[in-house]
Amino acid sequence: MRSVLGDRRALAVLLGPALLVYTLVMLVPMGWSLGYTFFKGNVIEGFTFGGFGNFEKLWHDSQAHSALWFTFKYAIAVSIGQVLCGYLLALLYVFVLRKSSAVVRTLVFFPVILPTVAVALMFQKLFAVAPQNGLANAALDGLGLHHGDWFASAGGSFVVLVVMDVWRSMGFYGVLIFAGLVDIPDETLESARLDGATGWRLIRHIVLPLSAPVLLSSVVFSINGTLKVFDSVLALTNGGPGSDTTPLTLYMFRTAFSYGDYGYGSTIASLLTVVCLGVTLVIFRFSRRDLTKG
């Protein structure tokens, strides 16, 4: 084995095709997209060199700023919701339901496998006011909490979007974190209990630090997934009302493919890449701290 791995030609033969495929489907399009940022135009009319014009436009574009703000707002709200609900579910599975949690886990995981469009249509009906009052509004009305058209305001649409995406994905994070929690040795938990650590103290000083690695993975998964949200927004609100729930991805898609401005669309895509990279680096930097040392 060592002789094979030491042979450069063998390595080239074994890795070459995969590297070539990776280069052609990942690196070349990325480079190509980066190249487009310096051009104006589209595939129908052709391209003209525009220098840093697209970056300057991005700097002054209020729609891009609002899309970036919405992207951050959505990513933070949904990530907190997903990971927190997932963590609470995992605690429920491990410490309350114990071995009988399989059925609950399956039920809570079920929305994860549903198509986003189907879920979005369901939530549209749930929160609708026209042509009929949806179930959520009917329930709120029953409690004396009257609410108007959720989808007519930026705030209402945002709330429905966050509730939908947290509901849809918390089962995934529940199972992911559950896998981390069951790895905590029973002896450790038992000795902590003997030392008097129960309830919140047990979670705060024993469970939370020991599940930190899986929590970190969940946060990285969640933040990167939510920063690139596209399908659920498109299906639920189509970016509206107006452009109030339009994230960067949808703005980029529309700019490139609806408005036929590939150069500026690529510039927005580059911004999104930088944002994802930056946020991930910040999370990893933060995670270097040893949580077990307070």
Q: 195: Cβ–Cβ under 8 A, 6 or more apart, which residues?
A: none
Number of other residues whose CB lies within 10 A of the CB of residue 254: 18
Among 66, 217, 224, 238, binds other proteins (CB under 8 A): 238
Question: What sign has the CA pseudo-torsion 13, 18, 21, 26?
Answer: negative
**Of the two residues 48 and 292, which places its CB atom closer to other proteins in the complex?**
48
Please tell me whether the peptide bond between 209 and the residue prior to it is cis, using omega within 30 degrees of 0.
Answer: no
Query: What is the DSSP secondary-structure string of 137-201?
Result: HHHHHHTT-----GGGSHHHHHHHHHHHHHHHHHHHHHHHHHHHHTTS-HHHHHHHHHTT--HHH
Minimum distance, C-beta of residue 61 to other proteins, in the bound complex (Å): 9
Window of 5-13, 74-82, 182-190, 277-285 that interacts with other proteins by CB under 8 A: 5-13
- Residue 220 touching other proteins (CB under 8 A): no
Could you give the CA distance from residue 255 to residue 52 in angstroms, rounded to a whole number? 17
Question: Binding to other proteins by residue 138, rule CB under 8 A?
Answer: no
By CB under 8 A, is residue 100 in contact with other proteins? no
Q: Would you count residue 148 as binding other proteins (CB under 8 A)? A: yes
What radius of gyration, in Å, describes the C-alpha atoms of the chain? 24
| Nearest residue (CB) to other proteins, 55 versus 109 | 55
44 part of the interface to other proteins, by CB under 8 A: yes
# of chain residues touching other proteins (CB under 8 A): 37
Whichever of 108 and 250 has its CB closer to other proteins, that residue is: 250
Binding mask 154-173 for other proteins (x = CB under 8 A): x-------------------
31 binds other proteins (CB under 8 A): no
129 binds other proteins (CB under 8 A): yes
48 lies in the binding site for other proteins (CB under 8 A)? no
Task: Tell whether residue 145 is a contact of other proteins (CB under 8 A).
Answer: no
Q: How far is the CB of 276 from other proteins (least distance, A)?
A: 24
What the block records as the tokens of 68 is 């970036």
Ramachandran sector of residue 247 (left: φ over 0; alpha: ψ -120 to 50; beta: rest): beta
The residue within the footprint of other proteins, chosen from 6, 196, 199, 242 (CB under 8 A), is 242
Per CB under 8 A, does 131 bind other proteins? yes
Instruction: Specify the DSSP element, H or E, that contains 49.
Output: strand 46-49
In whole angstroms, give the CA distance from residue 221 to residue 204: 23
> Which C-beta is closer to other proteins: that of 43 or that of 143?
43
- DSSP type of residue 131: S
Question: CA–CA separation, 221 vs 226, rounded Å?
Answer: 9
Residues near other proteins (CB under 8 A): 9-10, 12-13, 16-17, 20-21, 24-25, 42-45, 124, 128-131, 148-149, 151-154, 238-244, 254, 257-260
